[in-house]
Chain A
Amino acid sequence: MASRRKRAGVRPAAGTAARAAHATVRGSGEPPDHEQRLRALARERTRVGLALTAAVFVTYFGFIGAVAYAREALGALVVPGLSVGILAGALVIVASWLLTWVYVRWANDRYDPALRALGGR
């Protein structure tokens, strides 16, 4: 507890950064205190992480499900040589890239500025 007060005291949040952090707390009228803002940020991070994990999960196991239960559909050709299955496999890899990109954008644009406002590095 002592170290927390010291940290907050040594590094007061800068005005603009504090507003950025505040923006991550939804529906709060009064500027919430340091502790509550960190809680809210922690909840938001967990939500984003779990939502994106669910997205990867659905993508990959959707693919596996199709392999198991929709063999014929996956064997159909999109163009000569390219079956739906091969395209879908490549798209699972592309989707993994896109989802990691989405997370990194969120973390760099929203999470990091909010952290800096709370005295993080």
Chain B
Amino acid sequence: MPVNEAVTTIGQPSAIAMGFFFLFISITLGITYWAARRTSTTEQFYAAGRSITAAQNGFALAGDYMSAASFLGIAGLVSTTGFDGLIYSTGWLVGWPVVLFLIAEPLRNLGRYTFSDVVALRFRQTPVRIAAATGTLATVVLYLIAQMVGAGGLIKLMFGLSYEQAVVVVGCAMIAYVLFGGMIATTWVQIVKAVLLLAGAAILALMVLMRFGMSPTALFAAAAERYGAGVLAPGKLVSSPLDALSLGLALMFGTAGLPHILMRFYTVPDARAARTSVFYATGLIGLFYLMTFILGFGAMVLVGPDTIRAVDAGGNMAAPLLAELLGGTPFLGFIAAVAFATILAVVAGLTLSGAAALSHDLWVSVVRGGHAESGEQLAVARLATIGLGVVAIALGITFKGQNVAFMVSLAFAIAASGNFPALVLSIFWSRCSTAGAVSSMVFGTLATLVLIVVSPTVQVDLLGNASAWFPLKNPALVTIPLSFAVGVIVSLASPERGAAERFAVLERRLHLGAADE
């Protein structure tokens, strides 16, 4: 329902938007059909047969990572707050160098399908697999809820579908990609999405800059002239330095613990390709966030913060409104379809990594003790995909109208506190033991969940209480160091000779790769 019909057609069913939408669905289902005929083994289902090139994986990583929150959310934040929004633009990128320096290559050489493979490598399988799969599922489910609720709201605004219809459409498309096409289809959906998103943002940024003599500084100057010099300087978003530090830590180390991102490193042939792919991904993602500077300030100057807030209180419609102003209804339709593609590529990656945790980590490694036929593994993985998809749709509808934006930063905090410390300790520290790795993962996940419940995010913002017991909005500042400490102390208290001996094998394989592949 458009608030201001003179300004925008957003919210009315648009033939052009629907046209782009069906075009995208047809292309991606075509890809899925093609991929389905190449998906008959577990290696193809989980890891695309390790046949993805470094450049392809770079685009797919970018497509897996850049969510609608980064496109619509950051553009909206910059357009309504100015400089403060840019703090997020940089925060969402700085995890990628860390992924490259510490995680990507060891992961590729040490594991097969999931990050649990790496943590479990030199420890007792059952407890580690259960703890790692729990961390994975907690991250994936929280992230999925945020994406589904966001998708329902956005598609309702852009295509005029009802919220429930939108959630069901997104859920069914994502189930279809993963169920039939596995990692091959997911990869190509993510590549198509990354190209569309980068192209859409670049065209939009160019159209903005053409209004300002191709000069970003002229654009920023126009924003300062109209809304005061304050829009170019830090405002009140970062009122508490500790909150900013804590969120920054969650973003930086959470990126290196996101299961759906880590899983992508198994799709390339070797560690060198994994390394190169992160280099490409960092370039593409950084370029995109630089463009959000232009899109945000462009929307501020050309559309205006009041109009943006009138259409959507959260500011999420800034980029679509800008597209409509500069390119009319056809370009709005294109950008709407890009936003839709953005959501689908992310939820497909999340569903696949959740299905891998359920089938590869829990069913095959724990229930079956590592011995299950390929056919059984695939059947369980597909069953898990359907199960997760249905759960995602149900949760998306359950949380209708709730403010779930905090769940994304919560997912990052769990990835940073539950997954990342155990991953680092198991790869780089010879004295880490089974008990140490497991307690670090369990503690990190539980402590993050508990602290977020007693934080201002839930107590004040969600429940409307006057104050909260725990002062930080994001617990990462406390939970990451504690999770490392728990891993170290428990390991030292429970030395495990076998785990220490197998570290030499791990170290060799970390650098030289597995001989049996």
A-to-B contact residues, CB < 8 Å: 3-4, 7, 38-39, 41-42, 45-46, 48-50, 52-53, 56-57, 59-61, 63-65, 67-69, 71-72, 74-75, 77, 79-83, 85-86, 89-90, 92-94, 96-97, 99-101, 103-104, 107-108, 112, 115, 118-121
The main secondary structure of chain A at its interface with chain B is: helix
Pairs A-B, 8 closest by C-beta atoms: A75-B233, A81-B221, A68-B241, A81-B217, A83-B232, A120-B512, A81-B220, A49-B101
A61 touches B97 (CB 8 A): no
A75 in contact with B230 given A81-B221, A96-B286 (CB within 8 Å): yes
B511 touches A45 (CB 8 A): yes
The main secondary structure of chain B at its interface with chain A is: helix
What residues of chain A lie closer than 8 Å to B96, measured between beta carbons? 96, 100
B89 touches A60 (CB 8 A): no
**Number of B residues contacting the other chain (C-beta, 8 Å)?**
54
In angstroms, Cα B248 to Cα A54, docked, is 14
Q: Shortest CB–CB separation between residue B53 and chain A, in angstroms?
A: 16
A-B contact pairs, 11 of them (CB 8 A): A7-B512, A7-B515, A64-B248, A67-B234, A89-B86, A89-B87, A89-B293, A93-B89, A96-B286, A112-B272, A121-B270
> Please, which residue of chain B has its CB at the minimum distance from the CB of A66?
B234
A90 touches B293 (CB 8 A): yes
Q: Shortest CB–CB separation between residue A9 and chain B, in angstroms?
A: 13
Q: Given A45-B511, A81-B221, A90-B290, list of 10 further CB < 8 A pairs?
A: A38-B512, A53-B102, A74-B234, A81-B224, A82-B232, A85-B233, A100-B282, A103-B275, A104-B100, A118-B512
| B244 within 8 Å of A (CB atoms) | yes
What residues of chain A lie closer than 8 Å to B219, measured between beta carbons? 81
Q: Mark B78-110, 1 if CB is under 8 A from A, else 0.
A: 000001001101110110111011100100000
Q: Shortest CB–CB separation between residue B151 and chain A, in angstroms?
A: 27
In angstroms, Cα B515 to Cα A67, docked, is 49
In angstroms, Cα B509 to Cα A119, docked, is 11
In angstroms, Cα B414 to Cα A24, docked, is 38
| B312 within 8 Å of A (CB atoms) | no
In angstroms, Cα B240 to Cα A65, docked, is 11
Q: Mark B494-517, 1 if CB is under 8 A from A, else 0.
A: 000000000000011011110100
Q: Shortest CB–CB separation between residue B273 and chain A, in angstroms?
A: 11
Tell me which of B218, B233, B289, B428 contacts A46 (CB under 8 A). Answer: B428
A61 touches B248 (CB 8 A): yes
B221 touches A80 (CB 8 A): yes
In angstroms, Cα B412 to Cα A29, docked, is 48
In angstroms, Cα B511 to Cα A48, docked, is 14
Tell me which of A39, A50, A64, A118 contacts B87 (CB under 8 A). Answer: A64
B513 touches A120 (CB 8 A): yes
| B372 within 8 Å of A (CB atoms) | no
B90 touches A60 (CB 8 A): yes
In angstroms, Cα B293 to Cα A121, docked, is 42
| B283 within 8 Å of A (CB atoms) | yes
A65 in contact with B286 given A3-B515, A4-B508, A104-B276 (CB within 8 Å): no
Tell me which of B216, B244, B275 contacts A104 (CB under 8 A). Answer: B275
Chain B positions 218-247 with a Cβ under 8 Å from a chain A Cβ? 218-222, 224, 229-230, 232-234, 238, 241, 244-245
Q: Shortest CB–CB separation between residue B5 and chain A, in angstroms?
A: 34
Q: Shortest CB–CB separation between residue B320 and chain A, in angstroms?
A: 24
Q: Shortest CB–CB separation between residue A118 and chain B, in angstroms?
A: 7
What residues of chain A lie closer than 8 Å to B252, measured between beta carbons? 56-57, 60
Chain B positions 135-172 with a Cβ under 8 Å from a chain A Cβ? none
In angstroms, Cα B293 to Cα A94, docked, is 14
What residues of chain B lie closer than 8 Å to A104, measured between beta carbons? 100, 275-276, 279
> Please, which residue of chain B has its CB at the minimum distance from the CB of A107?
B275
A56 touches B220 (CB 8 A): no
A86 in contact with B91 given A57-B252, A96-B96 (CB within 8 Å): no
A93 touches B289 (CB 8 A): yes
A89 touches B89 (CB 8 A): yes
